[in-house]
Amino acid sequence: MSPHVIIDKYNLVISLLITIAWQLSGFAIAWTFKFDKITDFTGGSNFFILALITLTTGGTYYARNIVASVLMMVWAARLAGFLLFRVLKTGSDTRFDDIRSHFFKFAGFWTGQILWVWVVSLPVVVLNSPAVSDLAKGGSNPKFGTGADIAGIIIFAIGLFWEATADIQKWLYKSSNPPKGKPCTKGLWYYSRHPPYFGEITLHWGLWALCISPTLYGNVSEGGRRAQYASITSPLFTILLLMFLSGLPTAEKPAAKKYYLHSHELTDGHVQVKSDSWDKYKHYLSKTSILFPVPPKLYRPLPEFVKRYIFLDLPMYKFNEREGREALEEERRDSA
């Protein structure tokens, strides 16, 4: 198949338009029917669609392009499939309980999903453009097997294994009806409080390293080099998203709040302890790295500033006693 340039030579506009159309279709269904079951599936499947379309329309059927596209499609299919399976089993997604009936708040989430898909897909989308990979269009196709190719595949494989294995282990743990007040420490969760996030960050760095070979080892045009270097926004945006937006901030404090409420009650205006769940949870936090996998015996004795500034267990993730009291008062008002 001869290569086709659609709108722009780096696939940026067409990939954005496809993403907008796919996500708006999902939003229309989810909003109309108050239906959570397709939200994450629509996000994950979008990556699969972009990799497939840019590979086939670009006609760049070179080993690197095929491998990078297939890896993205494997990751996307795994992610979309698992999230669809999980929401079908649980029936709904609690993340949307407060925004499902508010049009602009719900639309805001889907707008964020458009940005997430488009930015994170850039390494593969740009690589599959003829302007980067086709010699006749000013691109370059160095022989597959460069150092960046091998490193990228290995890093991607580690990340995908970490993310997929951690998801399965957490699902099996929750399915076993574990006792309340006990966090998951099975498998990879023994080394990190959020191993799927570590896996996702890792695999996107690997995918970017694989895709950058035409610039590092070939003779790509100046515009192609700029486009490839700019696609580093994919792993950087993944870090930003998971550390400061929809990842750790939406997981850490809600989890701590749950354990605090389980172990405290408000009696005559005073906070009373009714179990040791909170103390055990704080002990768990002190010995378990928030993101990077570290054996608890090595992590626990580390100085607080090392945990905070090297391992990124930032103050913004901490749940304090004041917030605990506010949570108890809120619970009392809701039950009144």
Measured distance CA(186)–CA(201) in Å, rounded: 21
Sign, Cα dihedral of 142, 65, 240, 188 = negative
Residue among 288, 261, 259 nearest 185 (CA) = 288
CA dist 164 → 121, 158, 171 (Å)? 19, 10, 11
Measured distance CA(201)–CA(38) in Å, rounded: 24
Q: What is the pLDDT, as a whole number, of residue 169?
A: 97
Percent of the chain whose predicted confidence (pLDDT) is above 70: 95
Q: What is the pLDDT, as a whole number, of residue 116?
A: 96
pLDDT at 3 > cutoff 80: no
Measured distance CA(109)–CA(107) in Å, rounded: 5
pLDDT at 195 > cutoff 80: yes
Q: What is the pLDDT, as a whole number, of residue 268?
A: 80
More confident residue, 289 or 97: 289
Which residues lie closer than 8 Å to 115 by C-beta, 6 or more apart?
none
pLDDT tens sequence across 97-118: 667 777 888 888 889 999 999 9
Over residues 210-221, the mean pLDDT reads 94
